[in-house]
Structure 1
Amino acid sequence: MNNKILSGLLLTSAFACGCQQNSNKHHTATSQDSTVHSFETTIDNKEVKRYTLTNGKLKAALTNYGARLVSLEVPDQAGHLTDVILGYDRADEYKANADNFYGAIVGRYGNRIGDATFTLQGVKYELEKNDGKNSLHGGTHGVYNQVWDVANRSDSSITFTYLSPDGEAGYPGNVKMQVTYTLNHTGGLVMDYQANTDKETVLNLTNHAYFNLSGAGSETILDHELQIDAEAITEVDDTLIPTGKSIPVAGTPFDFRKAFVIGDRIDVDHAQLKIGKGYDHNFELSKSTGFRKVAAVYAAKTGIEMQIWTTEPGLQFYSGNFMSDTDPKGKNGLVYPFRSAFCLETQHYPDAPNHPTFASTVVKPGQMYTSKSEYRFTIR
C-alpha cells in the first residue's frame, strides 16, 4: 500500500501508550476540565463531548462523535480570529444530518466504491448502499457515524480511537484506528492516521471538513483562488464512479496548476462538470509520495491562505454543489447556501479496490496503515 503501510508495527501498543500519559500538559479527558464540554446528547449510549485545542495562534473545537472538527479559528489579515469550518452547535444536529459529513473522519473507505462491492482474496464483500447503487464514505455505519474514544490529549493535541468490528458496514476485519489532531507552531492543523487489522481489508480514511476562508456562513467560495499540483483528474461516470481513465487537465476547467478563481470556469460546458454539478473530482497529484504541499486556497476578503500538505496520492475537490439554503441552519443559526463551502479531501483514489491500476488500499494483518495531512494557514 505504498507509504501508507509500515510492516511489523502494532497499533495496539500505540493505543496503550497514549492512555498511560497523564500530566498537567498531557492528560486523559475529564468532564471537569475547562476544555471539555458536554455536547448535549448521548449517541449509542455513549456520551458525546466537545474538546477545545489552542496553541496561541489557532483555536480548534472537536467532538468524539465521528472524531470530527467542529470549528477552526485562524487569524485574518486584521488579526481577528475567523472560524473557517462549517458545522452545527449540537451533536444531535450532526447526528440528524450525518450524511453531510461535516468535519468528520470518513471511512472505512472515504469516497465511493462502485456497486457497493469489492473482491478480496476471492471473497466478494457487499457494502451498504447509501449513494444510489454505490457506497459512499463507508456507508451509513461508517466511522463518521460512530462515537470514538479519547486516548490522550494536551492543550494543542487530541487522539481519538475507534475499534471497527469485523463485518461493520460489510467490511472485513477488526480494525483498530486512531487519528491525532495537532495544532503546530507553523500555523497548521495536522492529522495523523494509524490503523491495523486482524484480517485483510481495505482502508481509506480522510477528513471531510467544509471550508469557507471568508468565514463560515459567508455566501460563496466562488471568489476563492485555488491551486492544485495535479496534471490529471480521474474520469468518472454519471454516478461519480471512476471509469479507470485519467483526463489531462491542460486546456480544461480542471487546470489549477496555476492559481485560478474557483467560480470562473465552474459552469462551463464540460461533461465532467455536468456530472458533478460542478467540481467533485479526484485530482491525481503530481508527486505521489512523501509529505508535501499539494494545494493552496486563498480568500482575498480575509487574506487567509490555506495550504494542503499530505502523504496521499489523490485530492478530492468538492465545490459544495449539493448545498442549499433550505438545509438545516448551521452554527449560530447561520445559513449555508449553494456553493458556500469547499472540501479538499486527501485520499487514495475512489473505488481503488475495483481498479488494479490504482494505488492499493489493501491492509494486511501485521501491517500499519499510516497517513498524514495538514491544513496550514498563512496571511498574504
Structure 2
Amino acid sequence: MNKHFLLAGIAALMLASCNQKPETKLTLSGLNPTDFQTTVNDATTGLYTLKNKAGMEVCITNFGGRIVSVMVPDKNGTMQDVVLGFDNIADYINIPSDFGASIGRYANRINQGKIVLDNDTIQLPQNNFGHCLHGGPEGWQYQVYDAKPIDETTLELTRISPDGDQNFPGNVTAKVLFKLTEDNAIDIKYSATTDKKTVVNMTNHSYFNLSGDPAKIATDHILYVNADTYTPVDSTFMTTGEIVTVKDTPMDFTTPKPIGQDIANFDFIQLKNGNGYDHNWVLNTQGDLTQVAARLTSPTSGITLEVYTNEPGIQVYTGNFLDGTVKGKKGITYNQRASVCLETQHYPDSPNKPQWPSVVLEPGQTYNSECIFKFSVEK
C-alpha cells in the first residue's frame, strides 16, 4: 500500500473522529442537558443534576430556579419521576407555568397589587383577577438565577433583583440552596437581603404526582395537613382576612383522606371559590422543622412525600387550572388535577393583613425560610 495513501487515510479518520459530536449523557429521568442550554436576557441557562448515594436524582434549571424532575423509588423499587414539568428550556420560556419554580419576590397573591410601606402606597402588577400573583407576570420564575454547584448533592442559586423589579422596592439579593440529603429529602433554604424596606415571601411551586404517571389525575392521593384552621378566600381567590376552623368541613385533612373525597363538593362555597383546593392552611407546627406540616401518599406507587417547614402556612393547590392544553415531559398531556402543589409560605396578602405574621424585610435583616420535601415508601 502507498505510504502517503495510508497516512492520508489515517488523517481522514482522525479528522472525522474529531468532528463527531460527543455523546450527551441523559439524566436518569431521561432529560438531555443540552436541551436546557440557551441565553435569556444575556444570562446562560442550564440543567443541574443532584444525586445521592441512595440513587435519588433531582434535576434543576436555573431558569426560574425550577425543579424539573425528581426520581425516587416506588414500592417495587422502580424509579419514578414525581413532578410535572417540561423536557426543554424552550417550553419553560414559551409556555407560561409555575412548574417547579422558585417563586419571588412574593409568592401567592397581594390584594389589587397594592402594598403600603411607611405610608407610601406602591402599585404592583395586577396579573390575576386584579391581584398580584407570584411576584407579577415577570416574577422570578421567568428570570435566570446565577447557578453555583457546590458538590454532587448541593446547588446554590442567586437572584439579584433590582430596585423597582415589578415595582417592588429595594435591591434584593436572594439565594436558594438545594441540598439532596442521604435520606432522600430535598432541603431548600431561602435567604434574602435588601437595601430598602420591602416584602419577601418565597416558595417552591413543584407540581407533584407521586404515582409517577402524570397522565393520571392525583385525586386518589392521600393528604394529611397538620392544621386546624385555614384562611378562606373570596371568588377572586383573595384571602378575606379571616382564620376559620377546618372542623366538620371539606377542608379538614387532620385525618388523612383522598384529595378527591370532597373536592367536587361545590355546595361548600370555599371549594367553589377555589375551583377545588387552592387555599392556605395555618399550620399547627409553629415553625418547628421537626414536625410534619403535610404528608402526601400515592396508593398506586406507595411513594410518600412529607413536608417540613419553618413557615406559618402551606398552600395546597390541586392543579385545578390544568386543562389538557399543555404537554409536558415525554409528551404527556397534563389534565385537570394531575398534580398537587404544597407551597410553604407566609399567608397570602400578608402585607395588607397586619394581624398576620409580617413579611416586611428591612435593611440589615436577613429573610430566612426553609422547606424540606422528604420522600419514602409505604409498602
Post-superposition Cα deviations, 1:19-71, rounded to whole Å, max 9, x if no partner, equal: xxxxxxxxxxxxx9978933143211222101111003310100010011000
Distance in 1 separating the partners of 2:91 and 2:245: 40
**Cα distance between partner residues in 2 of 1:197 and 1:54:** 33
Scaled by the length of structure 2, what TM-score is found?
0.89
In structure 2, what is the equivalent of residue 320 of structure 1? 319
Q: How many angstroms apart in 2 are the aligned matches of 1:289 and 1:149?
A: 29
CA distance in 2, matches of 1:61, 1:46: 19
TM-score w.r.t. structure 1 length?
0.89
| 2-structure distance, mates of 1:198, 1:338 | 42
Aligned pairs for 1:208-357 (under 5 A) are 208-268=205-265, 269-291=267-289, 292-325=291-324, 327-357=325-355
- 1:236 aligned counterpart, secondary structure: coil
Q: What is the 5 A alignment of 1:132-281?
A: 132-268=129-265, 269-281=267-279
Q: Distance in 2 between matches of 1:328 and 1:40?
A: 22
1:120 & 1:375 partners in 2: Cα distance?
Answer: 34
Identify which of 78, 81, 105 aligns with 2:79: 81
In the other structure, the counterpart of 2:59 is 61
Q: Quick one: which of 37, 42, 55 aligns to 2:33?
A: 37
The count of aligned residue pairs is: 348
Give aligned-pair identity as a percent: 40
**Which structure has the larger Rg?**
2
Partners of 1:59 and 1:74 within 8 A in 2 = yes
Preserved CA contact (<8 Å) 2:233 2:274: no
Question: Is contact 1:85–1:216 with CA below 8 Å preserved after alignment?
Answer: no
The 8 Å contact of residues 86 and 216 in structure 1, kept in 2 or not, is answered as no
CA displacement 1:73-95 (0-9 Å, x = unmatched): 00101111100010001111011
- CA deviations on 1:201-260 (whole Å, 9 max, x unpaired) are 000000000000001423111111000000111011111111111120000000000101
Deviations 1:284-333 (A, max 9, x none): 001222213111011111110100010000000001111111x2210011
Asked if 1 retains the 8 angstrom alpha-carbon contact of 2:285 and 2:292, the reply is: no
The CA distance in 2 between the partners of 1:348 and 1:211, in whole Å, is 21
Q: In the aligned structure 2, how far is the partner of 1:322 from the partner of 1:133?
A: 17
CA contact (8 A) 2:37 2:47 kept: no
- Structure 1 Cα separation of the partners of residues 50 and 306 of structure 2: 20
Equivalent residue in structure 1 for 2:107, among 81, 88, 110: 110
1:97 counterpart = 2:95: yes
Give the unaligned 5+ runs of structure 1.
1-31
CA RMSD of aligned residues (A): 1.6
SS at match of 1:357: coil
State the secondary structure of the residue aligned to 1:89: coil
For residue 151 of structure 1, report the CA deviation from its aligned partner: 2.8
Contact 1:212–1:218 at 8 Å: present in 2 too?
A: no
Q: Which amino acid aligns with 2:33?
A: H
User: Where does residue 376 of structure 1 map in the other structure?
Assistant: 374
Report the counterpart of residue 18 of structure 1 in structure 2: none
The residue type equivalent to 2:300 in the other structure is K
**Secondary structure at the residue paired with 1:316?**
strand
Cα-to-partner distance string for 1:136-188 (whole Å, 9 max, x where unaligned) = 00001211110010134210110000100000001000000000111101221
Structure 2, unaligned stretches of length 5 or more? 1-22
Deviation track 1:87-132 (CA, whole Å, cap 9, x = no partner) reads 001111011123x200001110000000001101111111011112
